[in-house]
Structure 1
Amino acid sequence: MDARALKEGVHPGRLDADALQDGFSDLHAPLTDHEALVAADRCYFCHDAPCITACPTAIDIPLFIRQIATGTPEAAAKTILTQNIMGGMCARVCPTETLCEEACVREAAEGEPVQIGRLQRYATDELMSQNVHPFSRAASTGKRIAVVGAGPAGLSCAHRLAMHGHDVVVYDARPKAGGLNEYGIAAYKTTDDFAAREVDWLLKIGGIAIENGKALGPDLTLDGLRSEFDAVFLGMGLGGVNELTAPGADKDGVLDAVDFIAELRQSSDLSSLPVGRDVVVIGGGMTAVDAAVQSKLLGALNVTIVYRRGRDRMNASVWEQDLAAAKGVRIISNASPVAVHGNGSVREIEFEFTDDDLKPTGETFRLAADQVFKAIGQTLEGDGLPALDGRKIAVTGAGRTSVHGVWAGGDCAAGGEDLTVTAVAEGRDAAEDIHASLMGGSNG
């Protein structure tokens, strides 16, 4: 945490160790063997299952649930991991309530879907607990591919390329691999160091080397990578954070939500993390909810999310919004920040109500705040990038960019939703296209 944030009202150790452990425990306890069988028994095993279509990685959900029902969770895990090599993490963090489970026939008929996410976790956890890797490498092709970014897109791409017999070097700016899974997701969604354990398990395929502390721009150039490798995949996510433009936004105590979440995720002692008494989070996505809920779990007295549009326009799902409310977080919609007040440090933040078209209504209000977290979107960083589509890398087909021999996927690329599961799918599909191109199937 920035030293500037340590001021009156912001301090560590608001809650005792037991309260912190309880608050940051696993959000959803894993299913027992019996619970998994009962949950699997609810599946209709639909022929044209809508849940498959709703899954960005197109996992054969009825098949893996049938495999659980017949007592072969390891086979179920392989069915999952064939499509989504990070199926363990996705089972924990995917908004299944708006994807596969929303499409479930049981949801439509009864309002209670099959617990697809928890069943997926049950299967993948069972396989990973055996410390085996279900896939093996093909014979070496002699081709070398550079992957920039060790997040979901980059690791998914690297794993699929390694399976095809290519050698892969993954570069990442952070000290640890994992990207968003390691640094950007609420701690209560991925406990017991699961993100790092999943990376270690994924690397058992072989043929993948990771070099940390190297970012595109300061340490690497795209031209240099193209000259050294047979192909390049860009999956570095969005490293920058949009700025808050309201007057006073540079005051002490106005911080980036992504940095707060990253510090919390890497902390070995939650009681050492300073948090405010009155916390305001600006934004309406998953980052905003994660920052707000975790502030509350650290002991903040009043936590408020303020979003400029209506609640129905929030990127955070209704389930996530309800989770925040259940933890004591207040959500105010249709309000935009107009000024940050305080003498050097933030004391209040002023908002103005807006209509559905974001036009100001003239009605303002103030919230007490000794800590403000900005969760208003991230931006692409890097020098010498391929052509952009808006503020992201333009791609066609399975991630092809404007530069020959360079592919992109995940949050840094234009197109799909900024979800872990979408990034995994894009990395996987780009790897298949890279393989086809390198082996003479098409021109990259």
Structure 2
Amino acid sequence: MDNSKNYSQQQLALDQMFKDINPALSARQAGLESSRCYYCYDAPCIKACPSKINIPSFIASIHADDLTGAAKTIYTENIMGGSCARVCPTEILCEQACVRNHEEEKSPVKIGLLQRHATDNAEFEGHPFERATATGKKIAVVGGGPAGLSCAHRLSLLGNDVEVFEAQTKAGGLNEYGIAKYKLTDNFAQKEVDFILSVGGISVHYDTALGKDITLEKLKADFDAVFLSIGLQDSASLYLEDEDNPNIINSVDYIKELRQASDINQLTIPKDSAIVIGAGNTAIDIACQLKRLGTEEVTLVYRRGEEQMSATSHEQQIAKNHQVRIKTWSQPSKINVDNEGALTSMTFNKTYLDEGKLISSDEAFDIPCSAVFKAVGQKMAYPQTEQLIPTISNGKVATFHNQLTSIDGVFAGGDCTGVGQDLTVEAVQQGKLAALAIHQSLTASEEK
């Protein structure tokens, strides 16, 4: 048997299951859509964009058929504009702010799809930006996710040399390991990493984890500054007996396995029924992917109502379109296994609000299942082996002015901090702002 041919067929079958959920615009569609923009002078869409992209400007470039110019406008503020166009909740950011929402049609300009059209079709000769004159400074970036890559890229543009220390075998962070497979298709996350690194001046050390292979103390001694973007490594617990059952699965771990799989046979797929516990985008992502993989019945359970779910109404609708059952006002109370330890069902108690406080009632019910996927939140696990530890607040690295931590010369950004929402675009912006602050602090000290 030709193994390479067999591999290709298996990969094709998996890719067919996870076709792009939001297909790209054609050139004609993009032209028509760009003509709908009013090119507002004091554009509310820019204010709503965490990375402050000049949206009217890049849309005007698309309308003038200058896709390369449009992409450069996007990349000036957000070097990960390609992935953000695919994964960001534009429906609650720039598109929600679009003045077209106030008109009778109540239909905003499709900013996300236009951004994707520009970044997908731009034609650059080499990298779109040139590095500044070398500063002689060297900065360590711990973590190669969106915040780390954004920080590294901006620092490099400003003439600094950067070394990225990545714990995984690939860079990209959640774009590579944690986003639904139907949102970032065709190995896009790695293509974007390659694009970012092509600016030069950035080296990446893979399989290199803080607290295991490197220490913050050593990095601080060897580099002029350090940027921490270590993300959230652990999943929150349900605090129930039998939670260690092999069929009680962390959703992020499963998504990671799915995104790295080249063969559907590598995955353990619940065929009959599965329960997803959670209310965020990860819960929606895992539920929809299970349906695509062939799980017959998927029930997403949340202890509060739909209006309190952190997943946007757009994401909730995606789940409903996938025929995911959403059960609200229900709190998990017991994991049920048979005499042989096999998972059979999960018991929930109905909940209600009493003067704003969530109450679990005595009314209980069971949902049969062969697997339970936990999507109840991620938490940071700062290495206990570290001697140098920044201030931790509410389980995350505390940052102060300009992303600076409590340790001089050590900055932080992304999901490991408590700043903003856990969105890719916000992580990119925090990395960019930290880079500017780091560069400014180093050049200021040099001038002194």
If the length of structure 2 is used for normalisation, what is the TM-score? 0.93
* Aligned counterparts, 1:27-426, within 5 A: 27-109=21-103, 110-127=105-122, 130=124, 132-276=126-270, 277-343=272-338, 344-356=341-353, 357-383=357-383, 384=386, 385-426=389-430
Please say if residues 334 and 358 of structure 1, whose CA atoms lie closer than 8 Å, have aligned partners that are also in contact.
no
CA distance 1:121–1:441, shift in 2 (3 Å): farther
Separation in structure 2 between the aligned mates of residue 97 and residue 363 of structure 1, nearest angstrom = 37
Separation in structure 2 between the aligned mates of residue 21 and residue 152 of structure 1, nearest angstrom = 24
Separation in structure 1 between the aligned mates of residue 374 and residue 358 of structure 2, nearest angstrom = 19
Could you list the runs of 5+ residues in structure 2 that have no partner in the other structure?
A: 1-9
Please say if residues 164 and 203 of structure 2, whose CA atoms lie closer than 8 Å, have aligned partners that are also in contact.
yes
* Letter of the structure 2 residue corresponding to residue 365 of structure 1: F
* Letter of the structure 1 residue corresponding to residue 350 of structure 2: F
* Letter of the structure 2 residue corresponding to residue 331 of structure 1: I
Please say if residues 19 and 182 of structure 2, whose CA atoms lie closer than 8 Å, have aligned partners that are also in contact.
yes
Percentage of identical aligned residues = 48
Please say if residues 80 and 150 of structure 2, whose CA atoms lie closer than 8 Å, have aligned partners that are also in contact.
yes
Please say if residues 350 and 361 of structure 2, whose CA atoms lie closer than 8 Å, have aligned partners that are also in contact.
yes
Q: Secondary structure at the match of 1:440?
A: helix
Please say if residues 14 and 263 of structure 2, whose CA atoms lie closer than 8 Å, have aligned partners that are also in contact.
no
Could you list the runs of 5+ residues in structure 1 that have no partner in the other structure?
A: 1-15
Separation in structure 2 between the aligned mates of residue 176 and residue 17 of structure 1, nearest angstrom = 19
- Counting matched residue pairs gives 427
CA distance 1:442–1:96, shift in 2 (3 Å): farther
Please say if residues 348 and 368 of structure 1, whose CA atoms lie closer than 8 Å, have aligned partners that are also in contact.
yes
Q: Deviations for 1:167-191, whole angstroms, at most 9, x for unmatched residues?
A: 1000111110000000000010011
Q: Deviations for 1:313-348, whole angstroms, at most 9, x for unmatched residues?
A: 111110000000110101111211100001312110
Cα deviation for residue 221 of structure 1 reads 1.2
Cα deviation for residue 139 of structure 1 reads 1.2
Q: Secondary structure at the match of 2:402?
A: coil
* Letter of the structure 2 residue corresponding to residue 360 of structure 1: S
Q: Deviations for 1:236-256, whole angstroms, at most 9, x for unmatched residues?
A: 110111112122212230010
Cα deviation for residue 441 of structure 1 reads 6.6
Separation in structure 1 between the aligned mates of residue 60 and residue 300 of structure 2, nearest angstrom = 41
Cα deviation for residue 108 of structure 1 reads 2.5
Q: Deviations for 1:196-219, whole angstroms, at most 9, x for unmatched residues?
A: 000001111100001111111112
Separation in structure 2 between the aligned mates of residue 145 and residue 164 of structure 1, nearest angstrom = 12
Separation in structure 1 between the aligned mates of residue 313 and residue 69 of structure 2, nearest angstrom = 33
* Letter of the structure 2 residue corresponding to residue 422 of structure 1: E
* Letter of the structure 1 residue corresponding to residue 277 of structure 2: I
Separation in structure 2 between the aligned mates of residue 415 and residue 249 of structure 1, nearest angstrom = 31
Separation in structure 2 between the aligned mates of residue 114 and residue 364 of structure 1, nearest angstrom = 46
Backbone CA RMSD of aligned residues? 1.6
* Letter of the structure 1 residue corresponding to residue 19 of structure 2: S
Separation in structure 1 between the aligned mates of residue 361 and residue 319 of structure 2, nearest angstrom = 27
Q: Secondary structure at the match of 2:300?
A: strand
Moved more, 204-213 or 374-383: 374-383
Please say if residues 68 and 123 of structure 1, whose CA atoms lie closer than 8 Å, have aligned partners that are also in contact.
yes
